[in-house]
Structure 1
Amino acid sequence: MRFSSFSVATASALALGASLLSTAAPIQKRAAAASDMLVLQFANVLEQFETQFYTQALAKFVEQDFISAGYSNAQIAIQQFQSIQIDESIHTTVLTQTIVDQGGQPLTSCQFNFDSILTDVTVMAANARVVENLGVAAYLGAARLVSDPVLLTAAASILTVEARHQTVLNILNAGSAIPSGFDIPFTPSEVLAIASQFISGCDLGVPANPTLSLTNTGTVAPGTALTFGSPALNGTVSNDSLFCQMLIGGAPFAIVLPFNACVVPDINGPVALFITSDQQPLANNVRDQAADKIIAGPTMAFIDTKPEVMGQLARGGAQSQASATLSSTTTQTITPAEASALISSASATATASASAATGGAITVNNAAGGPSDFTGTVGPITVQGWSAVPTSS
């Protein structure tokens, strides 16, 4: 993929086009300036990128693949991926037509190959999470350039949809649905550090940061010492003089660590990883970020230290390592009718019989003047009684 030199401001404006002009809302036609057409063309490629990812994924995997990946109901996952694909496809269609309406020729020579990340449903779902976080990061990074309130509103409306996609994919990956109160902004060059490796055959007119990848095997979690691969890490600069930087949502600056001691702290959710030439913390805003110190990156990682029941329900058969730390024993409250039935049969014989049938012990507590409670185990379920709730008069 070839990239020509381009100013940061113009590049950011191009990324903005992906969020502003890919909406299906009608926009008044007017002659496009040269810079506007550049925005349209770049946005069109980004929307094609997202559309093709989901199109290729849905064409490759069938219901059994989702079942094998551990989804408790394959159709729930498939339906969500289809819904997201439709959104991205609509954006592409509208953007392509907008370019034609403005007298331009849509850039259609770009080719997208996602074979390396469509090896199975688990890998695909994890990378879909990256795709949507990448979209949110791109929209946030470009919002500062919007002066037209109509365009700013359009950008915000696209951003909210991308954020919904992001939440769904967090759940489908058994992570925290909303891991942070804030997201991370990227410049277009940072967006392309991740996206450019899957795009060929066209010139986007935006310089891409060198790609960065994690070479760790296994789960990335607090305490993991990260290792990296990048064409920029070619041995010409000593690793001892490099730094690992981690941007997380809501933090004003990156966490900075020596390259050879890049250990994940106790965090939860997405983290953007960079390699820099000095230890000046990268600002978590694209205006003040010392981009000239970035050697490679970003790449994205997801630290799922706070798994949620909702994610387990969606992905009960193949949880992430973080999700697997949750106990497999659940707690269930039984109804008064069920408790009464248990109480009435709470003889020694009944207790022994029920215990043998369920693999657990049954205890019935019927204190005078208080509620009747049942506690015990029924297979993998721990049942903890019920409390009498007075009815309204």
Structure 2
Amino acid sequence: MRRLLTVLLGSAALLTGVAHAADKKAPEKPAEVPKAIKTLHDGFLTLDTHLDTPEHFARQGWSMIDRHAVAEDGTQVDLPRMKAGGLDGGFFVIYTGQGELTAEGYRKARDFALNRATEIREMVAAHPDQFELAYTAEDAARINKAGKVFVFQSIENSWPIGEDLTLLETFYKTGVRMAGPVHFRNNQFADSSTDPKGKIWHGYSPLGLRWLAEANRLGILVDVSHASDDIVDQSVALSKAPIIASHSGAKAIFDHPRNLDDARIKKIADSGGAICINSVYLKASEQPSPELMAALKALGPLDDEATEAQVKARMVKMAALKAQYTFPPRANFETFMASMLHTLKIAGPKAVCIGADWDGGGGVEGLEDVADLPKITARLKAEGYSDADIQAIWSGNVLRLIAGAQAYAKSVAGK
């Protein structure tokens, strides 16, 4: 159920264009951010809606307060790089890879997800001067003013809820304030946008409709990233509070099921929701050469319980392969911005946000980790967006949605 470390370090990453390898034909990297723009960026309250960094919290030898490097261990988020990139907080993800829809499958998934939620809280508790859990939209500014990183929690894939919707309230009480019903495969609640078997529910299942109603009742922001187009349509129509796509992109830039077409981008925006721009699914993947595939296969799998030292040793071997073979070209900063700018054109700055899928497969040439985030602000300024627009994109829109979900829950409490 863990996201295998090979997502970052092995052939799967290469095939989706996220391996950190030089591309001889890649365009020049974006220029360094001028000091004035960096100062402007640092003045914004910023958040990312999809940080898969909790995947690393239990790794022996890895610490959130140490500075790491993509080239050394594949990670993209830690406290020093958040400070360098002016990232004030975000949604730390409780991710569970889809498994069997059985009582035993649900039990294992539940225990895994509750443990991941515990790991997030333990990380925060271990560093109380640097991090604080956030539960409301107002918490973000308060925690930031205190000089700490605000930590919201979200669920990516509600499979661990099983068929017991009271567990959604259990997760709410742990701090979860955003949840998506489904991931790469269909589950008991909803159809995925990427299940090779196709649709089984044509949107939400009957249980999924109850999941949606319960999320609304609790004040959990509904996330439609990874969900089928039918789910997007039904969520807009049925949710009592505006919804979010926490890490999605524009299908007009790259036609992939994980991306949203213009009609659905506009539908989400017109209903008061927002689309957070992903740094994955930006271009078609190219197959590595047979020789490179053989070399990658020879490395063997990296165990989910690998230590930091073992991960670094794997990265040394990967670096040797990069020196020997030509890796497929990756997406770049310009492609990422094309997805964002297109979405802004369709939805407007009051309906766009940022969820780059850091530590979950995200990152492109020129936007390698969260230390590079000021480049986004620089580009938005160059495109003519106002400071108010950029503040909305960086956090205002998301905080509005959190507040909206909680306002609805308050309005029906006790009824």
Report TM bin, short chain.
under 0.3
* Structure-1-length-normalised TM-score: 0.27
Larger relative CO (CA 8 A, sep 6+): 1 or 2? Answer: 2
* Structure-2-length-normalised TM-score: 0.26
